Structure 1
């Protein structure tokens, strides 16, 4: 049974519905603690953590801690995890830096919800080693290569969405370090450099602007907020948002996806666009199944769900969006940056925004 109040968004999702989604995720969890994409699917560290966070938010704390224990047991000596594992067998030995950074978000989120310092102390070596691994792929300008090959060499390419997510992970890692009395000034410098390149150097990243993630992730990851964040979301709203259905994954296909929609909900919530965020969460409920699980996406030109699998990480994104909008659990503000370390990046960000953003942006159009 849940150990705390479960999120609910009036008129969109009841607490019972959100709890059902948490239980649907838990039903897919393997005996090892791993949470695959769907039954018999593969596991990657990022989506595993997203699912663990949903378990924490729905009060399924034992299951969440089992998931984090899986991370602790399977971390490699260099601080990384394989990009893809299935039933304990490594299918892709490369490491995605964003995937490896994300456990910091989950560990901090679980600590804020539970107040369990013992858990934080057990997981601190895991987070510390993972962050050091990730920062080993940071370039002089500040961007971080998206992957490190099985041979240990960075791939030489950086992604805007991945680096934006790492920006959030570093803030959570610094908050955890501060909480445990383990200052990491080098991480603060790395965060400052990463935030700067995210705001000032779009040429540092591979061009992926057909993907909605490249549109909203700088906001979601905290590098761009306030008026600048609202302007960014306004600029391509019509390219990606389909009224009554949700957000498209890419701008050139008639396909809305639940996880991207809910991440956009979290981004909107972070820049005080709460009404629009609630409307989007309501719009994507057509992907919900009776057991609380969620389909990945919907091809609206054909009127069909695609793919057929109901992914754990889509349900997890729904839970986290519901918690953010309802302000229910103590971890509801993790994507708004509440309780996170200010760090050098945030000080720099505020200075940049004051200097560069000009007058406030209007609210997104109705």
Structure 2
């Protein structure tokens, strides 16, 4: 097996033609971005935010998915092996690691769930049943940890603290992402012919909360992620998705520059912009998605990476960090727009299981046991 320290399997720009998008990326630029992400990956498979920086499990998976869309499957596999090797006994991961050492021992539910999205994406990209089988215990344990934090109303509490307690608080962004993750976990279970009826009910309850009960989540409406994540996480589609996006477009989108991270700050960020583009693609609005990606070309650095953000009132890059996950989110958006099968499957969501609606089980969301 190729180790992360060895050269990329692809060398010529033409090899990245599937990641070409006029006005956004040429094949050579895509190749440079993939090389830059790969250069950050540690020999043990870990992908921190940047060389010498910390790793969080969610962004680690995002970067691994970007490697898969570039057909760097062995590098992506190494990233997932890192997760298997560093999983806690309760199925979780810590919120942050630096050089392999935990530096934040909070266990965030959303961080722990996202491995299911990444692994299903990896399987769809590679068809590697043996690796999916190897990783099944890791996914199973992670999902069980996450569902241990589900509240009676279907929402999932956002963290378990180092002392084992879990504040009765849920985040709409995180729960939207976890809805996608649970759907991917169900897809893995179905593929393995190992039905998980408890997961089906939990997924249905979570989707019900995301779509119909905004009051069950902390108010984070300043953040653009709370605006578009119900779409990105596959919960919201059709006219309702369009209505949600249109309602806040002018509040968060800065024409020519990208998407604000928070509504009341003059700061656009590459990750949020690329994710909104991916959500727009999922809604069938590819033209607007491409426009957003073209706008954030000003964040591209000479080495193929992308600056995290830009404070437009000060004409300043901030923070002065080029993050693996910012570059990864852009590659995933480009891959979806280019019709990459694995990426369109996990973010389009049409073929993912939806779980069991609470009413179908005779258990209304307000009365289900946690």
Q: Normalising TM by the smaller chain, what interval?
A: over 0.9
Equivalent position of 1:111 in the other structure: 123
- SS of match in other structure, 1:343: coil
Indicate which of 264, 270, 273 corresponds to 1:252.
264
Question: Distance between the aligned counterparts of 2:146 and 2:107, measured in 1?
Answer: 9
Equivalent position of 2:205 in the other structure: 193
Is the CA contact 1:6–1:19 (under 8 Å) kept in the aligned structure 2? no
Q: CA deviation at 1:202?
A: 0.8
Is the CA contact 1:6–1:329 (under 8 Å) kept in the aligned structure 2? no
Is the CA contact 1:80–1:100 (under 8 Å) kept in the aligned structure 2? yes
Equivalent position of 2:329 in the other structure: 317
Give every structure 1 segment of 4 or more consecutive aligned residues whose post-TM-superposition deviation is greater than 6 Å: none
- SS of match in other structure, 1:217: helix
Instruction: Tell me the alpha carbon deviations over residues 275-319 of structure 1, each in whole angstroms, 9 at most, x when there is no partner.
Output: 111100111111011221000000010111100010000000010
Equivalent position of 2:319 in the other structure: 307
Is the CA contact 2:200–2:354 (under 8 Å) kept in the aligned structure 1? no
Equivalent position of 1:124 in the other structure: 136
Unaligned runs of 5+ in 1: 349-366
Q: How many residues matched?
A: 348
Indicate which of 31, 42, 51 corresponds to 1:19.
31
Indicate which of 274, 277, 283 corresponds to 2:295.
283
Q: TM-score, normalised by structure 1?
A: 0.92
Are residue 8 (structure 1) and residue 8 (structure 2) matched? no
Equivalent position of 2:68 in the other structure: 56
Is the CA contact 2:204–2:354 (under 8 Å) kept in the aligned structure 1? no
Indicate which of 159, 163, 180 corresponds to 1:151.
163
Q: Compared with structure 1, are the counterparts of its residues 84 and 212 closer, same or farther at alpha carbon in structure 2 (3 Å cutoff)?
A: same
Indicate which of 25, 41, 44 corresponds to 2:53.
41
Q: Compared with structure 1, are the counterparts of its residues 179 and 42 closer, same or farther at alpha carbon in structure 2 (3 Å cutoff)?
A: same
Q: Compared with structure 1, are the counterparts of its residues 30 and 81 closer, same or farther at alpha carbon in structure 2 (3 Å cutoff)?
A: same
Q: CA deviation at 1:156?
A: 1.4
1:194-273 matches, cutoff 5 A: 194-273=206-285
Indicate which of 176, 183, 188 corresponds to 1:176.
188
Question: Distance between the aligned counterparts of 1:89 and 1:51, measured in 2?
Answer: 20
Q: TM-score, normalised by structure 2?
A: 0.91
Q: Does 300-309 or 150-159 show the bigger shift?
A: 150-159
Equivalent position of 2:6 in the other structure: none
Q: CA deviation at 1:11?
A: 3.0
Indicate which of 329, 333, 354 corresponds to 1:342.
354
Q: CA deviation at 1:151?
A: 2.1
Indicate which of 108, 125, 130 corresponds to 1:96.
108
Q: Does 159-168 or 6-15 show the bigger shift?
A: 6-15
Indicate which of 172, 187, 190 corresponds to 1:160.
172
Is the CA contact 1:37–1:313 (under 8 Å) kept in the aligned structure 2? yes
Equivalent position of 1:358 in the other structure: none
Instruction: Tell me the alpha carbon deviations over residues 95-126 of structure 1, each in whole angstroms, 9 at most, x when there is no partner.
Output: 00000000000000000000111111111111
Is the CA contact 2:205–2:358 (under 8 Å) kept in the aligned structure 1? no
Is the CA contact 1:245–1:283 (under 8 Å) kept in the aligned structure 2? yes
Q: CA deviation at 1:332?
A: 3.3
Measured on the aligned residues, the alpha-carbon RMSD in Å equals 1.6
Q: CA deviation at 1:4?
A: 8.1
Unaligned runs of 5+ in 2: 1-8, 361-370
Question: Distance between the aligned counterparts of 2:357 and 2:336, measured in 1?
Answer: 23
- SS of match in other structure, 1:236: helix
Q: CA deviation at 1:19?
A: 2.4
Q: Does 128-137 or 219-228 show the bigger shift?
A: 219-228
Is the CA contact 2:179–2:233 (under 8 Å) kept in the aligned structure 1? yes
Question: Distance between the aligned counterparts of 1:296 and 1:331, measured in 2?
Answer: 23
Q: CA deviation at 1:154?
A: 1.4
